Amino acid sequence: MQERPLILVTNDDGITAPGIRMLVEVMKELGDVAVVAPNSPQSGMGHAITIGKPLRLVDSDIFDDVTAFECSGTPADCVKLAKHYALKDRQPDLVVSGINHGSNSSISVLYSGTMSAAIEAAIENIPAIGFSLCDYSHNADFSHIREYVKSIASKVLDEGLPKFLTLNVNFPKKQEEEIKGVRICRQARAKWEEEFEQRFDPMGQPYYWMAGNFVNFDKGEDNDEWAIANNYVSVVPIQFDLTAHHAMSVLGEWEF
Amino acid sequence: MQERPLILVTNDDGITAPGIRMLVEVMKELGDVAVVAPNSPQSGMGHAITIGKPLRLVDSDIFDDVTAFECSGTPADCVKLAKHYALKDRQPDLVVSGINHGSNSSISVLYSGTMSAAIEAAIENIPAIGFSLCDYSHNADFSHIREYVKSIASKVLDEGLPKFLTLNVNFPKKQEEEIKGVRICRQARAKWEEEFEQRFDPMGQPYYWMAGNFVNFDKGEDNDEWAIANNYVSVVPIQFDLTAHHAMSVLGEWEF
């Protein structure tokens, strides 16, 4: 009998979030599961890593029959600690991150702790997937996406991924209509338009709350925002080479 | 007389770092300068933003004749606060970040707070440059790069940048030989290979120090690592569309 694959599960909402619990349950059907996840919410941490202070890593028994650790660091730290310490003797065959409570589509991929864990795995050339549900509530309904999570992870286990790539998978919020299917997409051109609200603390000192409105500039139908808005699962292949190769020839003409 | 451009200066080493002081001095020769920078070191913060807690923004008089604020948030927060709050009445024509004490070449662009500020500006379609010196010491010698910083910023002010792009500029550490010139490069294929050292606190509980070794897999001569190692300034055009467009057709054949 072939050995079952080892699947590392992490997230950015923290080890107690319902989304990671669902992901662990589904991954147990596909392989041996290990969890290294943050001990506190890490939303918006982008690709932060912990420099200049040490990390804590503590055994956790919150998942049945699963080796799990909670970590004081960021999602990217979790993957580094898993690969180079906790799972040093048996490397993961797949890294899955999520299921995030909220969208990580379009520009949010940059701010996303969920996706930074998946990208960190891609840097290590381990196939990886970040899963996000476009529903920010703690008690979000994940039932309609369970089979999709399983089939996408299963496909990546069977086929692998192109070298150094990871997948950014976003699911529409549960609706009456069933999800229409899966679309391979590009990242939509959009941004968060921030507003800052000034308030004053009891000592009379100002502080500022950041509140963002998502603004989608993209009129195409081949991007992740369109897919999600039309009740499809969006799958965007993500790379960590940020070079704008097309701009090199333009800049090459400059004299300094 | 034409109005002088407004240049926003930020960094990730914090508002008191020598690198930002040098950058402010050089930018004052090119335009009006405003500073919004972190009140504490933010190295390795990647593209983190502050979610779920408020930000502080306090006037600072540490630079002569320059409007400056120190911010409790990340470099990306600083750019957001500058654009949407502190500089709301006059938008910057250029955003410069740095000069970082240490390299942000190759894969380090992902972990870099310096570059996240520049990328945040690019998202807002403001021309932006991240400057880093490949010398981690607090008392690094910046004298050999002063003219390059000025000429690169001046060039970007004159020519602009291709839409939604920013520049990742890394300078070699000061050597006896003068810098040979500027090279337009791609991001080298490399990674940080982590090691974790376990120690025990006075209560007997374990903690872990992360220590990374930079491993360069790239044999090319058109990448930033090669340029820096050969005493050139590396300039990499950086984009925030992470879509691996070349992989979309491969994934398009998959059935879920």
Q: Dihedrals φ, ψ of B90, to 5°?
A: -145, 105
Residue B10's nearest CA partner among B155, B115, B152 is B115
Best mutation target, A243, A248, A250, to test chain B (most B CBs within 10 A): A243
- Minimum distance, in Å, between the CA of residue B194 and any CA atom of chain A: 6
CA–CA dist B133, B172 (Å, integer): 6
* Spans of all domains in chain A: 6-188+221-242
Residue of A nearest to B236 (CA): A243
CB contact under 8 A, B159 and A186: no
CA–CA dist A131, A115 (Å, integer): 8
Whether residue B3 is predicted with pLDDT greater than 90 in this model: the reply is no
CB contact under 8 A, B237 and A256: no
CA–CA dist B139, B145 (Å, integer): 15
Domain A6-188+221-242, CATH number (from 3.65.10.10, 3.40.1210.10, 3.10.310.30, 3.40.50.300): 3.40.1210.10
CB contact under 8 A, B206 and A51: no
Strand ranges across the sheet with A233-239: A57-60, A67-71, A32-38, A6-10, A94-101, A128-133, A165-171, A233-239, A182-184
- pLDDT over 90 for what percent of chain B? 93
Report DSSP letters for A73-118, one per residue. Answer: S-HHHHHHHIIIIITTTS--SEEEEEEEES---TTHHHH-HHHHHH
Residue A111's nearest CA partner among A234, A10, A12 is A12
Helix axes A146-159, A18-28, angle to 10 degrees: 50
Return the pLDDT at B21.
Answer: 97
Residue among A123, A155, A193 minimizing CB distance to B254 = A155
CB contact under 8 A, B165 and A244: yes
Residue of B nearest to A113 (CA): B48
Measured between beta carbons, the chain A residues lying within 8 angstroms of B248 are 184, 186, 237
CA–CA dist A99, B2 (Å, integer): 53
Residue B2 pLDDT grade (very low, low, confident, very high; cuts 50, 70, 90): low
Return the pLDDT at A11.
Answer: 98
- Minimum distance, in Å, between the CA of residue B175 and any CA atom of chain A: 20
Residue of A nearest to B50 (CA): A44
Q: Dihedrals φ, ψ of B55, to 5°?
A: -110, 150
Residue of B nearest to A45 (CA): B48
Residue among B41, B49, B250 minimizing CB distance to A162 = B250
Return the pLDDT at A2.
Answer: 61
- Minimum distance, in Å, between the CA of residue B167 and any CA atom of chain A: 10
C-beta separation of B123 from B61 below 8 A: no
Residue of A nearest to B250 (CA): A162
Best mutation target, B49, B101, B167, B198, to test chain A (most A CBs within 10 A): B49
Residue among B81, B189, B251 minimizing CB distance to A235 = B251
CB contact under 8 A, B84 and A195: yes
CA A95, A101, A107: angle at the middle one, nearest 5?
A: 80
CB contact under 8 A, B151 and A52: no
Q: CB atoms < 10 A from the CB of B141, how many?
A: 12
User: End-to-end CA distance of chain B, in Å?
Assistant: 63
Residue B59 pLDDT grade (very low, low, confident, very high; cuts 50, 70, 90): very high
Measured between beta carbons, the chain B residues lying within 8 angstroms of A109 are 242
Computed on alpha carbons and rounded to an integer, the radius of gyration of chain A in Å comes to 19
Residue of A nearest to B191 (CA): A123
Which residue is associated with the tokens 């054949």? B253
Q: Give the SS3 label for residue A32.
A: strand
Return the pLDDT at A1.
Answer: 46
pLDDT (mean) for B125-138: 96
CA–CA dist A97, B202 (Å, integer): 34
- Amino acid occupying residue B180: K
Residue B212 pLDDT grade (very low, low, confident, very high; cuts 50, 70, 90): confident
Residue A179's nearest CA partner among A217, A228, A218 is A228
Whether residue B143 is predicted with pLDDT greater than 70 in this model: the reply is yes
pLDDT tens, B24-40? 999 999 999 999 999 99
Question: How many inter-chain contacts (A to B, CB under 8 Å) are there?
Answer: 218
CA B210, B211, B212: angle at the middle one, nearest 5?
A: 120
Question: What letter does residue A40 receive in the DSSP assignment?
Answer: S
Six-digit token string for B2: 């034409």
Measured between beta carbons, the chain B residues lying within 8 angstroms of A243 are 186-187, 236-239
pLDDT mean values, one per 10 residues, chain A (256 residues): 87 97 98 97 92 94 96 97 94 97 97 97 97 94 97 97 97 96 97 94 96 94 98 98 95 87
Domain B6-187+220-252: top CATH class: alpha beta
CB contact under 8 A, A77 and B210: yes
Residue among B57, B84, B109 minimizing CB distance to A242 = B109
C-beta separation of A131 from A102 below 8 A: no
Question: What letter does residue A235 receive in the DSSP assignment?
Answer: E
CB contact under 8 A, B237 and A244: yes
Return the pLDDT at B1.
Answer: 47
pLDDT (mean) for B111-135: 97
**Sign of torsion, CA A233 A237 A240 A246?**
negative
Q: What contacts B2, CB < 8 A, 6 or more positions away? A: none
Whether residue B121 is predicted with pLDDT greater than 50 in this model: the reply is yes
Spell out a b/e string for A14-51, using b for 16 or more CB atoms within 10 Å of the CB, else e: bbebbbbbbbbbbbbebbbbbbbbbbebbbbbbbbbbe
Helical spans, DSSP H, in chain B: 18-28, 75-81, 108-111, 113-123, 146-159, 224-229, 248-252
